Amino acid sequence: MLWVAACQQAPVCNDSLLYRDSGFTLASPAGTTFSPTVIFSDPDGAHPDACHYARDQGDAACTETGGWIDNTPGQKDGTVTVTPVDHACGGFAVGSSYTLTYSFTRIPGILWIEAWSDNQ
């Protein structure tokens, strides 16, 4: 029984620089009016075993929620694995996982995330 309790511990989301209570503005395609955003937060009652994200493509076409794992916590440039849970945007599929490169330094003052910053 102790083993089961240990496996159900909530992940530590705030080790990541991505974790934040308010959203990040994402880099967006040049010459567009898109304003994509994302919020990386901690577990909730529905999914206590995963950190959560919510992203908005900024064009009112798609909002996506899911789980995330920072593969390089504490770093300004790294990779994050995301798994959409109830709706997926662009070429993503619910239940599939995707490892995306992220950077806080590529474009000063804006978070860049592979695919998401291209509004996919």
What are the 10-residue block averages of pLDDT along the chain, 120 residues in total?
50 90 86 86 84 85 88 96 89 93 92 84
Q: How far apart are CA 41 and CA 18, in angstroms?
A: 9
Q: How far apart are CA 35 and CA 59, in angstroms?
A: 7
Number of compact structural domains in the chain = 1
Q: How far apart are CA 57 and CA 89, in angstroms?
A: 8
Q: What is the pLDDT of residue 30?
A: 79
Q: How far apart are CA 114 and CA 101, in angstroms?
A: 5
Q: What is the pLDDT of residue 120?
A: 61
Q: What is the pLDDT of residue 60?
A: 65
Q: What is the pLDDT of residue 9?
A: 63
Domain interval for residue 10:
2-118
